[in-house]
A and B are shown apart, each in its own frame.
Chain A
Amino acid sequence: MSVELVSYGAFFLTIALTYAIMCLGLNVQWGQTGLFNVGVAGFVAIGAYVSAILTTPATESHLGGYGMPIVIGWLGGALAAALISFLIGALTIRLRADYLAIATFGVAVVVQLCALNLEPVTGGPFGIGFIPRPFAGLAGSPLAFSLLNLGVLIAVVAAVYLSLERLVRSPWGRVLRAIREDETAAFALGKNAVRFRLQAFAIGGGVMGLAGAVHAHFIGFVAPDNYVPILTFQVWAMLIVGGSGNNRGAILGAVLVWGVWTASAAAISVLFPPEQQARAAALQIVMVGLALCAVLLLRPRGLLGEVRVVSRYLDPSARRFPAQEIATDARKP
């Protein structure tokens, strides 16, 4: 196997895993709690910009940079996104579900407009470049560089995954599930639905911010165009393909949908003459949409469905929803 191929594979997986983090964040909000966030891109952008501002060297072209270590940037990005999610949630989470959706969409638009127009802070349309990459000193040997970066991403995804599993498969996660199923009944059982939903929304937003920060450090720059609604669409497609409510599904879906996305980009560059390629890029969205439809038709709960038993303290014989189970044909032997 050629070095280029391995490097490319590592690079592909690295980027796919940054999406996996976004997807894990959305899974806390939507998969576990039923909070409809259609502004994923905005929360990702907050994490990305904050980390970029914190870690880049001092400059005239945007706020900062403060030249801090990458880890501080990532934590700062996650915290900023969690804090903003908390504030948005505190204002809207009591309202009906559709208002939250509208609010999150608004956040994404506002964040993008700020990124574009608040030039002294964000660098405006050109964004922020020269974001330090982990192991930049190794850039001379591409293989080691890409494998180490992949290792970092695997470690981050593993840490997020394990933390979320611990949290979601606990009494806390059980309350989220109960609220999602019937808020009135959960309330009558003493569960303060507003508090739990707010917590889930903030944690999910924080994870998305972390994803944005990590992503920014691997592509090396942030710009307003990175955080458009297509990103939100991709992350949603990933979660639905992998299996909403299942953290492993979120990771799997991210890798698969990113695979479809990059494969169709490659196919377009082969099949279309250069002058048409920009327009043909829209086919990438079509391909992801087709994959989404196929999964919804064949496995409505996604490739890995939600595990029914929430608590990890209970019998691990936790059965999965059979993928093709039809709701009315519920009784099992």
Chain B
Amino acid sequence: MKQFQYTRAVSQQSTIDAIAKPGTKIIAGGTNLVDLMKRGVTAPDKLVDINNLPLKNITSTKTGLHIGALALNSVVSENSLVLQKQPLLSMALKAGASPQLRNMATVGGNMMQRTRCAYFFDVSMPCNKREPGTGCGAMGGYNRMHAIFGASEQCIAVHPSDMCVGLAALDATVIIAGKKGERRIQFIDFHRLPGDHPEQDNHLAMGEMIIGVDIPDNNFAKNSYYLKIRDRQSYAFALVSVAAALDISNGIIKQARLAMGGVAHKPWRLFDAEKALAGKAATEENFKQAAQIAMRDAKGYEYNSFKIKMAPAVIAEALKHAAGLV
């Protein structure tokens, strides 16, 4: 690891000023950044430790729930407001990483975590995300963990977060602070598809930081579920994961929210499937149909085509759990 300068942020403003300079990065839990620095994937000149900033709060607002960027993954997952209002988020968080890592990882850091693609991690391999122009190692290589939706010729990596799949399903909003003040962006618009610029994971501009997320109140608490399929029962990234949330009344789905992880460069919202479910009965049959609709634009590669079969099964299963059919 290269030497770097370490400073502790004293205020949000000082942070924003500091990160305006290239080569300067925020460090929160460090669970992703330190890992990548050790491998030489990233080598900042300066780290700004933001852990002393007052961004750990989890509060009820008029319209929903606010979670500060520095709230720990473990704390959020066990918070009573979260459990009561948005149990799906708690489930998604608990499905991620390990208890120790969740004790370090922050909400902001989780959103900003980089892909786990092996070619991105190994600096001796080609990777457009790490080093634009070197090619995509995964495209013709070992791509079992990779995207089946929204990939480009430049990159087929997936976003590895579980928490983000939950937030994408729950219509969250990201609150961002920068030189020009605060701005808000829909969670589903925060991460981006790779296109020609896979080095950009999201729409956070240089010099901006995440200060929190808002989740609007909803009627999903009773009928939501996070289902993650992986190679072992815990402490592994998703092959496919699904966040399913239903608002059911008298057996009829008023509204549905569905998002998938492990399938795209960003948490993948399944709008068409959601629409198809609205107004329908909460039955296994309807869930399977919606799952098929969700797969319309899926494209597999040499090692990940199984996801095209796995994903709809996981969607249907997650919906069954959410609806209480399992």
Query: Are A and B subunits of one complex?
Result: no
- Using a CB–CB cutoff of 8 Å, the interface residues on chain B facing chain A are none
- Using a CB–CB cutoff of 8 Å, the interface residues on chain A facing chain B are none
